[in-house]
Amino acid sequence: MSDRLWRHHQALYERARDKPGAVEDHPWGDVVFKIRGKIFAFVGGPETPGATVKVDPDELDALLSLPFVRRASYIGRYGWVSVTVTNKQTRDLALGLIDDSYDLIAAKTKRGRRGASA
């Protein structure tokens, strides 16, 4: 494995890990990050750096038009995409998508908690 791939993986891992309230889990051997029990990011291993994240439905088609983004296996029908990271450009996009996914999932879990207490 190259140092470059390791650095890409480390950047993705650290971005997800450092989100407020983020919890790391390994339910299927993959690194999964959750907020309040809901997954916001899957981070691929250092050999194949990448991230699988929930995206805003308005951004889905544009993202899927990129050659390094594909609909996620199994959960793609729910608006999740997988980004393969091979360079700084793809890494920076994946980092931004981790941020966006966290925001989407955190907002949903807050709404759900407020509704449950009403």
Judging by beta carbons within 10 Å of its beta carbon (0-12, 13-18, 19+), is residue 5 exposed, middle or buried?
Answer: middle
Identify the three-state secondary structure at position 54: strand
The CATH classification number of 3-109 equals: 3.90.1150.30
- Predicted local distance difference test score (pLDDT) of residue 116: 45
Taking the chain (118 residues) in consecutive chunks of 10 residues, what is each chunk's mean pLDDT? 88 98 91 96 91 97 98 96 96 98 91 49
- Predicted local distance difference test score (pLDDT) of residue 71: 98
Q: Domain-by-domain residue ranges, the chain?
A: 3-109
Question: CA gyration radius for the chain?
Answer: 14
- Predicted local distance difference test score (pLDDT) of residue 41: 98
- Predicted local distance difference test score (pLDDT) of residue 115: 47
| Longest CA span, the chain | 52
